[in-house]
Amino acid sequence: MDISTIVKAAKEYLPDLNEKRLVSAYDFAKKAHDGQKRSDGSPYSTHPLATAKILTEFKVDEDTLITAFLHDVPEDTKYTLKDIEKMFGKKVSCLVEGVTKLSKVQYKHDMAERQIESLKRLFFHSAKDLRIILVKLADRLHNMRTLQYLPIRGKRIRIAKESLEIYAPIANLLGIWEIKSEMEDLCFEFLYPDDFKRTKQLVEESSLRNDEVIHKTVRKIKISLTKHNIKAEVRARKKNLYSIFKKMLHTGKTFHDIYDLVALRIIVEDIDACYRALGVVHQTFRPKHKRVKDYIAVPKVNGYQSLHTTVFGVDGTITEFQIRTYEMHLEAEYGIAAHYFYNASRGRVNGNRVPSIFKKHAEWAKKVLAIQKEVQTGYDFVENLKFDIFQDRIFVFTPQGDVIDLPYGANAVDFAYHIHSDVGNEAANAEINGERLPLTTQLNTGDTIKINRSKSSGGPHRGWLILVKTGLARTKIKEYFKKESSQNNYAAGLRVLKRELQLFGKNELKKLPEIREKEVLEKFDVDSIEALMTGIGEGNITVRNVIHEFYTSEEILGKPTSKSGLKDDDLLSKRRFDHAMAIVLGNEELKEKADKNSLCLYRVEINIICHDRVGLLKDIALTLSSLGVNIHEIKMATTANTVDRHMVVIIDVCDLEHLEEALRALTVVRDVVKIYKSS
C-alpha cells in the first residue's frame, strides 16, 4: 500500500479533495519519521498510512486524513505543532494536538473499574472534536493489528488490556461497530489465546454463521414483511468472537445455547409495527418454544427494549430475531450518544422519521462532520457530555502522564500535596503546560503540571490555607505548621492577620471592650490575643473567623448605598434564588437574612495591583460578574513603578460574605499582585 491507495479511496467520496495537500502531508510525515522503524522492521511511515487507510473506510474529511498522517510527528520527531500549523493550518494542528494529548491518557495494569471509568470520561473530555477520537481509534486499531511484533510481552499485554478496557468501549459508545469488534477480537487473541482458539473453532464449525443462510433468511423475511405492508429495515450483524465468549462466560451457557451468533434485526417505525412484525416472523418461520421475550412491555434493567424471538429458520437453522423501533435501536446501539444522534437527525429526512444514520454505515462519518456544524450552532455532544459528567471535577496530568483527578477550582498547591506532602512543603513554583506560574494558579482540565521544588522554599504559605480546595492539602499544611516553634507561629499569625485586615481596608486589629474580648477568646479556646495569633499561625484558627468576630459587617461595608438595587436583575439572580428558596422552605432565619441581602447593596472601592496584560481586565470583569458582583466603575491610578498597574474598581455587593468571595476570587486571577479594599 502507498499514498495512491489513500488518494484513490478518498477521491471516491470527497469530490473536492485537495490531492496535492493530502500528498504533501504524507510526504512531510515520511520525511519527519525518516530513519525510524516500526517494531516489525518496516519504515515508520507505514503506520500513519495504515491509520489513514482505516479512516477512509469511515469516509472522514481531508483534515482528518492529514491528521492521521501527522499524528505522531510532534511526539516522535524534531518537528513541532508550530511547523504543522505553518504548513497545514491551525485546524489541522489543533486536531494533531488533540490526538497527542489523548495519547497521554494513561492506563495501568491493575486499574480498578472506577479508574477505568474516569479514564474513559477523560478520553471524551480531552477531545474537543470527535474527529480526534476517531483518529486515535484508528491509530490504536493499527497498533493492535501489528501488536505481535512488539518485542516485550508485558508491553503487549498492557496495550491489549488498555484497548479492551478503554478503546473498544469508546468505539462502541460512538457506534463504530467495525472498530469495536475488530479491536476486541485482536485483544481477545492476545489476552486469552486458548479461549480465543476454542471460540473461533466453534464458530467456524457452526452453520449459524453461514453467509448463504444469512442472506436467504434476510431475503425471505423482507418479502414477508412487504407482503404484510410493514415498512422495515432488516439487517444482519455477526456477533464477534469476544462477544460470544463473554456471553458464554457471563450466562454460563454453552456455545450451542447461544442463538444470536448472528443478530438479525428488524427495525420498524413504531411499537405497533414491532408486534405486527413479530407475527410475520412467526408466520414465516416456526418459533422455538418459550423463546419469545417481550422487552418492550418489560424493558431490561438498563432500559433496553426490543422483542426477541428464536425460530427455526432457513434449513432449520436456529435463528434469533430482534425487533425494535428506530429509537430503541439507537438507544441500544449508541447509548449515551443516541440522544445526540437522534436529535441531530430528527425531522430532517423528508418528514420521514428514519434517521439518515441508518442508511449505510458510511453515513456515520458525515455525522461526525455534522457535529462540527452543530458546534457552531451551539449544540455540542462532547460539550454536553462534559457538562453532564465533569461539572465538578478536573483532570490534570503529571509530567509522566498520570491523570490526577481534582475538584473544580483546585490550584497547583492542591496538585503538589496530592503528589506527596514533601512536594507540597517544598514547592517553589509550578510549570503549567511549560509556563512558569504561581502555585496558586487555578488549574484546568488537560493541564500538565510540573512542581519545581526547593529545600529553601521556606515551606508552605499560610495564605494557602484559604486558597486550597482539597481537604488533603489543608490538613498537610496545618500539620507542617504544628511543628513550627510557637514563636514562629506567633509571628506568622500576626503577618497573616495583618494581610487579611489590609484586604478589608483595615490597618490594625480593633481593640474590643474587655468583656467582649473575653467572649471572643473563649470562643476560639485561647487565653490571650497572643495565643490567638499563634493559633492562626498554626492554621488551627481561620483568620476570616477572627475578622468576623472582631468586626460587624457594617464596620467593613459601611451603610448600604442603595435599597433594593433592582436594576441589575441578572447579576443578582443567584441571591434572588436564595431568597426565593428561603421563602419556599419557610426558613425564617434564612428568609430574614435573604431579605436583608436582596434589599441592600453596599458600594465598595477595591484596589487591584497587577501586571498589565492583554485580557486581564476581561478576566477581572468575568470573575466579578460570575459572582453576581455589579461593577460600578473602573479607574486607573498611577503607580510608582512602571511595571505594575493600579486599578480602582468600585463594586456593589450584597453583604460581607459576597465581598469576601469577590476578593478571594480576584486574588487568584493570573497577574494580580495585590488586592485590598480602600479604607
For Mn ion, give the closer residue by CB, 47 or 575.
Answer: 47
CB of 139 to Mn ion, least distance (A): 4
Q: At what angle do helices 130-145 and 177-191 cross, to 10 degrees?
A: 40
DSSP 207: G
- Supply angle C-alpha 268, 269, 274, rounded to 5: 50
Please return the burial class of 578, using the count of CB atoms within 10 Å of its CB with bins 0-12, 13-18 and 19+. middle
Concerning whether 75 is annotated as a catalytic residue, the answer is yes
What is the total count of residues that contact Mn ion (CB under 5 A)?
2
> Which residue, chain included where needed, has cell 488498555?
162
Task: Assess 538 for contact with Mn ion (CB under 5 A).
Answer: no
| Partners of residue 607 on adjacent β-strands | 648, 676
For Mn ion, give the closer residue by CB, 58 or 504.
Answer: 58
For Mn ion, the binding residue among 61, 63, 72, 320 (CB under 5 A) is 72
Q: Which of 285, 262, 265 is nearest to 209 (CA)?
A: 262
12, 19, 40, 76: the active-site residue: 76
Q: Residues in the chain, how many?
A: 679
| Range in contact with Mn ion (rule: CB under 5 A) among 67-75, 326-334, 437-445, 589-597 | 67-75
Q: How far apart are CA 133 and CA 137, in angstroms?
A: 6
For Mn ion, give the closer residue by CB, 92 or 477.
Answer: 92
The residue number whose beta carbon is nearest to Mn ion equals 139
Q: In Å, what is the CA distance from 314 to each residue of 207, 210, 219, 407, 448? A: 11, 11, 11, 58, 59
Please return the burial class of 346, using the count of CB atoms within 10 Å of its CB with bins 0-12, 13-18 and 19+. exposed
| Range in contact with Mn ion (rule: CB under 5 A) among 72-80, 380-388, 412-420, 424-432 | 72-80
Q: How far apart are CA 235 and CA 255, in angstroms?
A: 23
| Range in contact with Mn ion (rule: CB under 5 A) among 105-113, 136-144, 321-329, 386-394 | 136-144
For Mn ion, give the closer residue by CB, 99 or 241.
Answer: 99
How many C-beta atoms lie closer than 10 Å to residue 48's C-beta?
Answer: 27
Residue 618 DSSP SS3: helix
CB of 167 to Mn ion, least distance (A): 13
Task: Assess 162 for contact with Mn ion (CB under 5 A).
Answer: no
351: left (phi over 0), alpha (psi -120 to 50) or beta: left
DSSP 288: P
CB of 26 to Mn ion, least distance (A): 14
| Range in contact with Mn ion (rule: CB under 5 A) among 132-140, 365-373, 517-525, 652-660 | 132-140
For Mn ion, give the closer residue by CB, 142 or 367.
Answer: 142
CB of 76 to Mn ion, least distance (A): 8
Decide: 60 and 38 in contact? Cβ < 8 Å: no
CB of 68 to Mn ion, least distance (A): 9
CB of 140 to Mn ion, least distance (A): 8
| Range in contact with Mn ion (rule: CB under 5 A) among 70-78, 427-435, 576-584, 593-601 | 70-78
Q: Which of 655, 657, 661, 601 is nearest to 625 (CA)?
A: 661
Decide: 311 and 286 in contact? Cβ < 8 Å: yes
List, in sequence order, every beta strand (DSSP E) within 414-526.
427-432, 435-437, 449-453
For Mn ion, give the closer residue by CB, 67 or 305.
Answer: 67
CB of 47 to Mn ion, least distance (A): 6
CB of 119 to Mn ion, least distance (A): 19
Concerning whether 76 is annotated as a catalytic residue, the answer is yes
| Range in contact with Mn ion (rule: CB under 5 A) among 133-141, 289-297, 528-536, 564-572 | 133-141
CB of 102 to Mn ion, least distance (A): 11
For Mn ion, give the closer residue by CB, 72 or 162.
Answer: 72
Q: Which of 203, 228, 76 is nearest to 139 (CA)?
A: 76
Q: How far apart are CA 469 and CA 354, in angstroms?
A: 49
For Mn ion, give the closer residue by CB, 99 or 318.
Answer: 99
The site string for Mn ion over 470-509 (x = CB under 5 A, - otherwise) reads: ----------------------------------------
> Which residue, chain included where needed, has cell 499524528?
71
75, 402, 522, 592: the active-site residue: 75
Task: Assess 139 for contact with Mn ion (CB under 5 A).
Answer: yes
Sign of the torsion formed by the C-alpha atoms of 586, 589, 592 and 593 = negative
The site string for Mn ion over 275-304 (x = CB under 5 A, - otherwise) reads: ------------------------------
CB of 368 to Mn ion, least distance (A): 20
For Mn ion, give the closer residue by CB, 54 or 385.
Answer: 54
Q: How far apart are CA 397 and CA 454, in angstroms?
A: 21
Decide: 141 and 54 in contact? Cβ < 8 Å: yes
For Mn ion, give the closer residue by CB, 159 or 556.
Answer: 159
Q: In Å, what is the CA distance from 583 to each residue of 222, 574, 595? A: 63, 14, 10
- Supply angle C-alpha 599, 600, 603, rounded to 5: 155
Instruction: Annotate 73-103 with DSSP letters as a single string.
Output: HHHHSS--HHHHHHHHHHHHHHHHHHHHHHT
CB of 98 to Mn ion, least distance (A): 13
For Mn ion, give the closer residue by CB, 61 or 139.
Answer: 139
How many C-beta atoms lie closer than 10 Å to residue 348's C-beta?
Answer: 11
The upper half-sphere exposure of residue 87, i.e. CA atoms within 13 Å in the direction of its Cβ, equals: 20
Decide: 307 and 332 in contact? Cβ < 8 Å: no
Residues that bind Mn ion (CB under 5 A): 72, 139
Positions marked active-site:
75-76
